[in-house]
Amino acid sequence: MKATALAHSNTALIKYLGKKDEQLIIPMNNSISITIDALSTITTVEFSPQYTEDVFILNDKKATGQAYQRVVKHLDLLRQEAQRKLKAKVVSKNNFPTAMGLASSASGFAALTVAACAALGLKKTPQELSMLSRQGSGSSCRSIFGGFVEWVKDDGTGKSYAIQLADEDWWDLRDIVLILEEKEQRQYSTREAMRLSMKTSPFFAARLAATESNLDKMRRAIKKRDFTLLGTVAEHDCLLMHAVALTSNPWQLFWTSATVKMMKLVPQLREKGLPCYFTIDSGANMHLLTLPEHQESILAELEKHHFIKKIVCARLAGGATIISDHLF
Ligand code: ADP
Ligand code: DP6
């Protein structure tokens, strides 16, 4: 009853913002993302009578508090599915900063769901895995799939899960991940920030109203491989999300001065003939989207700016999978 899974993080091109149902994690709007290879989580889960309580070790440290409770709650959901009561040991490693706006909860809960289901002997389709994973962390339902992914808020029968719009070979998009802050402590978790945004920002409704049309444009951009459309719409939706966060009560600003410097640099790169667009989740770090033929020139430009702590070049990845090397 032991299994290990690898899952990749995903970068939201049209953001998930707001929950219709907080318990089941049903979103207010569909969202679209790309699953990226460079940021990943490996998780090993073992269920055994030798464990008297669930243990969760994240990045070599025994987790306590909320991080621990979220994992236990998810294990309870999966145990209920399998009608088993055994406690588990979970060891997980993210190869990138945790809780810094780089979607560790997405790769984390996708890996946990896939590993725990396998360890419990649950045979689930990717769609079922996506529905289960969603209940651990919403955005993780998209990381079950590779390539271009849409999370459908309601499929018409009340079910909410992710579907693949196109696989990772459809279009060689590049995501240059700019680590601008590695240690900064955020005031709010993504979950809390989202709750505040939905409840208190007068701009929440306006952003929601704009989302259908942006989703349409994004689907079209992916289908036609129209990079300008994809980038323009992704950058705009990112700014809509941050405008909502900024106008919440209390207000939330995820950016640091490095983020703002970088935001200002992106249009300058475009003016130099280097097509690239940014998107930022709930953190200070940034994703710079581009095409392979421009990547080297963009990297050469970025090297001139010493406020960028680390650059990680990502391509599109496949979905979450079982692997044979266990972490313990
Ligand atoms: P991020 O931008 O990194 O997704 P969030 O606040 O959304 O930030 O999520 C971070 C939280 O996700 C962590 O505090 C922890 O509770 C959970 N998490 C991160 N990595 C893992 C993992 N590998 N396994 C299980 N839970 C994880
Ligand atoms: C800003 O999936 O972390 O990255 O469902 O509460 O766990 P919970 O939230 P989470 O939120 C991700 C929000 C986002 C945008 C996105 O990924 O679409």
Residue 327 lies in a domain: no
280 in the same domain as 143: no
Q: For 245-268, what is the mean pLDDT?
A: 96
Q: Tens digits of per-residue pLDDT, 293-317?
A: 999 999 999 999 999 999 999 999 9
Is residue 112 domain-resident? Answer: yes
Q: Are residues 101 and 157 in the same domain?
A: yes
Give residue 13's pLDDT: 98
| Ligand with minimal distance to 10 CA | 2
Residue 325 covered by a domain: no
The pLDDT of 269-285, averaged and rounded, is 97
- pLDDT over 90, % of the chain: 96
Separation between Cα atoms, residue 96 and residue 182, nearest integer Å = 9
Asked if 72 and 56 touch (Cβ cutoff 8 Å), the reply is: yes
pLDDT at 186 over 90: no
Q: What is the 3-state secondary structure (H, E, C) of the chain?
A: CEEEEEEEEEEEEECCCCEEECCCCEECCCEEEEEEEEEEEEEEEEECCCCCCCEEEECCEECCHHHHHHHHHHHHHHHHHHCCCCCEEEEEEECCCCCCCCCHHHHHHHHHHHHHHHHCCCCCCHHHHHHHHHCCCCCHHHHCCCCEEEEECCCCCCCCEEEEEECCCCCCCEEEEEECCCCCCCCCCHHHHHHHHHHHCCCHHHHHHHHHHHHHHHHHHHHHCCHHHHHHHHHHHHHHHHHHHHCCCCCCCCCCHHHHHHHHHHHHHHHCCCCCEEECCCCCCEEEEECHHHHHHHHHHHCCCCCCCEEEEECECCCCEEECCCCC
Task: Map tokens 């940021």 to a residue.
Answer: 39
In the reported structure, the alpha carbon of residue 304 is separated from the centroid of ligand 2 by a whole-number distance in angstroms of: 32
Question: What's the pLDDT tens digit per position in 152-161?
Answer: 999 999 999 9
pLDDT at 261 over 80: yes
Cβ of 12 less than 6 Å from ligand 2:
yes
The answer to whether residue 320 sits within a structural domain is: no
Q: Does residue 139 contact residue 106 with C-beta atoms inside 8 Å?
A: yes
Domain that holds residue 265: 174-314
Q: Is residue 91 located within the same domain as residue 231?
A: no
The domain boundary residue, chosen from 120, 144, 170? 170
**Does one domain contain both 27 and 136?**
yes
Q: Whose alpha carbon is nearest atom 12 of ligand 2? A: 139
> Same domain for 158 and 182?
no
pTM for the full model?
Answer: 0.97
Q: Are residues 165 and 180 in the same domain?
A: no
Kindly state whether residues 144 and 205 are assigned to the same domain. no
Are 255 and 270 contained in the same domain? yes
Question: Ligand 1: which residue has its CA nearest to atom 18?
Answer: 105
pLDDT, tens digit (0-9, with 9 covering 90-100), for 93-146: 999 999 888 999 999 999 999 999 999 999 999 999 999 999 999 999 999 999
The verdict on 296 and 205 lying in the same domain is: yes
- Rounded to the nearest angstrom, the gap between the alpha carbon of residue 172 and the centroid of all alpha carbons in its chain is 19
Q: Which residue has the tokens 């049903």?
A: 26
| CB-ligand 2 contact for 176 (6 Å cutoff) | no
> In CATH, what number is assigned to the domain containing residue 103?
3.30.230.10
* Domain total in the chain: 2
To the nearest whole number, what is the mean pLDDT of the chain? 97
The terminus-to-terminus CA distance of the chain in angstroms comes to 13
In which band, very low, low, confident or very high, does the pLDDT at 184 lie, cut at 50, 70 and 90?
Answer: low
Could you say which of 170, 186, 212 is where a domain stops?
170
Last residue of a domain, one of 170, 197, 212: 170
Claim to verify: residue 57 and residue 183 sit in the same structural domain = no
Pocket of ligand 1 contains residue 190 by CB under 6 Å? yes
Same domain assignment for residues 24 and 62: yes
For residue 51, pLDDT beyond 90: yes
Note whether residue 218 is domain-resident: yes
Do the domain assignments include residue 86? yes
Q: Within this chain, do residues 17 and 142 fall inside the same structural domain, yes or no?
A: yes
Q: Is residue 115 in some structural domain?
A: yes
Q: Is residue 288 part of a domain?
A: yes
The CATH code of the domain that includes 246 is 3.30.70.890
| Cα(10)–Cα(105) distance, integer angstroms | 10
Q: Give the C-alpha separation, 275 to 272, whole Å.
A: 9
Non-local (6+) Cβ contacts of 152 within 8 A are 30, 160, 161, 162, 163
Residue 182 pLDDT: 85
C-alpha 322/C-alpha 42 separation (Å) is 10
Ligand 2 pocket test: pick from 139, 177, 186, 238 the residue with the most ligand atoms within 8 Å of its Cβ.
139
For 31, half-sphere exposure in the C-beta direction (CA atoms, 13 angstrom radius) is: 30
Q: What does the pLDDT read at residue 291?
A: 98
The CA angle 319-325-328, to the nearest 5 degrees, is 120
pLDDT tens, position by position, 52-66: 999 999 999 999 999
Q: Radius of gyration of the chain from Cα atoms? A: 19
Task: Report the distance separating Cα 99 and Cα 94, nearest Å.
Answer: 10
Contact between 231 and 275 under an 8 Å Cβ cutoff? The reply is: yes
Tell me, using a 6 A CB cutoff, whether residue 231 lines ligand 1. no
